[in-house]
Amino acid sequence: MPTLPSELEREIFEIAIRDNHNNAAWKLNFSLVARRVQYWIDLVYYEVVTIKTPVQAHKFLELVDWKPHDFFALAVKSLCIAYSISAVDASRILSVCSNVQQLACWVPWEKSPNLTQLLNSLCRLNQLSIETGHFLSILRSQSTPFPGLTHLELKWWLSSPRTSLDLGALPNLTHVSLSRAGRSEAESVCLTCASLQVLVIQKLAPEEEYAFDARIVMAPSDITYGEPVEVWEDVAFRRPENMWAYAENVVLSRKQKLDGRWYVLRLTYNAQS
């Protein structure tokens, strides 16, 4: 019986598990095929990890003890640690997911001082969702914070500070989202973020309030006003309805309209000359 090349065999299983990521029965059946297949499947299955409750956090940490010591460093690309997780558990989770590229860390971390250092040590991090006060404390404490960060979502809690946002220390930042931010915060982002392409405002407010910059997009309620973890997973799984894709399309549409108007004006000017 002919056999498939190992690379092709692996790709088939990876595509199958990605297309059925939430189907536990599929994962179990695939894992029983062979030990090598189980390893391939696990690497894909744990690319995106969402931890919403303390019980889930403890189960994950128990799983860490059963896997090879570097497994989660290799596997986890996107990680969400929700508000109810303790800072101590969050620190332990981040310490094993050291190559994460996309992170939501909504943890009150005052009881774990090393969490700030752990966050800033994530050298491959390019997307971050975090509470505003925690993020500002990192900016103040680090000389070169998050050098590879391109996407940043800042969340305002009731305890979050109301202050201007100087993002000049993040030269590669192109996408910013502000939850419950006011006009002054939006203005400071537009002024200090040198590479800004898109600024998403997650707030019920008149669009005219933020019409001073064409890069600002008001997020519609059906995209960003759902359960926070689900909104984050839309981005993590690159679903077409995620907030970044929506905002990019809006900004592109505005640019195309502006370019079209400029083209018409130029034709009119040339005709009159």
pTM: 0.83
pLDDT band with cut points at 50, 70 and 90 for residue 194:
very high
Average pLDDT over all residues of the chain = 82
Q: What DSSP state is assigned to residue 53?
A: S
Share above pLDDT 70 across residues of the chain, in percent, rounded to a whole number: 77
Is residue 40 within 8 A of residue 64, CB to CB? The reply is: no
Mean pLDDT of 222-236: 82
Q: What is the pLDDT of residue 265?
A: 45
pLDDT band with cut points at 50, 70 and 90 for residue 267:
very low
88 vs 273, residue with greater confidence: 88
pLDDT band with cut points at 50, 70 and 90 for residue 264:
very low
pLDDT digits (tens, 9 = 90+) for 156-166: 887 777 777 88
Distance CA 177, CA 175 (A): 7
Q: What is the pLDDT of residue 1?
A: 40
23 pLDDT higher than 70: no
Q: How far is CA 101 from the centre of its chain?
A: 8
β-bridge partners, 78: 48, 102
Share above pLDDT 90 across residues of the chain, in percent, rounded to a whole number: 38
198 pLDDT higher than 90: yes
Neighbours of 192 (CB within 10 A): 16
Question: What angle is formed at CA 251 by the lines to CA 245 and CA 256, rounded to 5 degrees?
Answer: 120
Q: What is the pLDDT of residue 26?
A: 55
Give the pairing of strands 216-218 and 151-155: unpaired
Q: What is the pLDDT of residue 9?
A: 58
Is residue 189 within 8 A of residue 165, CB to CB? The reply is: yes
- Average the pLDDT over each of 18-22, 72-76, 85-89 and give the range with the smallest value: 18-22
Q: Where are the domains of the chain?
A: 1-45
123 pLDDT higher than 90: no
Residue 123 tokens read as 């050298």
